[in-house]
Amino acid sequence: MINASDLKRGLVIQLDDAPCIVLDVSFQSPTARGGNTLVKTKYRNMLGGQVLNKTFKSGDKLDEADFARRKGQFLYASGELGVFMDQDSFEQYEIGGELYEAVKGYLLEGGEVSLGIFNDLVVSLETPQVVELSVAETAPALKNATATAQTKEAILETGITIQVPGYLESGEKVKIDTREGRFISRA
C-alpha cells in the first residue's frame, strides 16, 4: 500500500485491477476551512492505453501494482508480431498491436528493450532513448549543405522515414531520438 501523498511520476499503481503508470501529479492545498490536501493525478491504464485523471485525498491508500521492469532483447519479427526474450528468465514473448507498432521502426535484431511485466503479460515495451541506425536510402548530398540548412527525407534500415540534414548520404549511421523520432547526429 502507498499513500496518495507519496505518488510520483513513473510509479505504477493498481486501479480497477489494471496497472496504471502515473504521468503527472499535482497537489492542491486545503481551503481555509481545513480538510485534506488533494492529490490530482494523470495516469495511463497500461492494459487499455487510456489516459485518465483522478483526484485522491492525501490520506487515501492505493495498491502498488505487481509490475516489474525487466531487461529484454528483440529477437526477430514474425509477420505483425515481434518476438522478445526476457534476459533473466529467457522466456519469450510474442508482442503485437500498438505496443509493437510504436517501437518496431527502432528495433534491430538483438537490440535491447525494457519489458514491463504485469501478471506474466507484457504491458509495456520501451526502446533505449537513442538508437543508431543506418540510412538505407536518401537523395544525394546537397552541395554546400550545413547542419542548419534544409532537411531531406531518409529511409532507415528498419523502414521508417525521418528528416535528416542535407549533407547526409546513404550508408551513413545516424543517432535517432526514439521518443520523438527525430535525427540527433551522425553516429
C-alpha cell at 112: 535491447
Q: For residue range 72-130, list pLDDT tens digits in order.
A: 999 998 888 999 999 999 999 999 888 898 898 999 999 999 999 988 888 889 999 99
Residue 138's φ and ψ, nearest 5 degrees, are -160, 165
Number of Cβ within 10 Å of residue 42's Cβ equals: 14
pTM for the full predicted model: 0.75
Domain annotation for the chain: domains and CATH numbers: 2-64 (2.30.30.30), 67-126 (2.40.50.140), 130-186 (2.40.50.140)
Q: For residue range 129-167, list pLDDT tens digits in order.
A: 999 999 998 888 766 655 556 788 999 999 999 998 888
Q: What is the pLDDT of residue 57?
A: 87
Q: For residue range 15-24, list pLDDT tens digits in order.
A: 888 899 999 9
Helix, strand, coil percent content, the chain, rounded in steps of 5: 5, 55, 40
Q: What is the pLDDT of residue 75?
A: 94
CA distance 44 to 162: 28
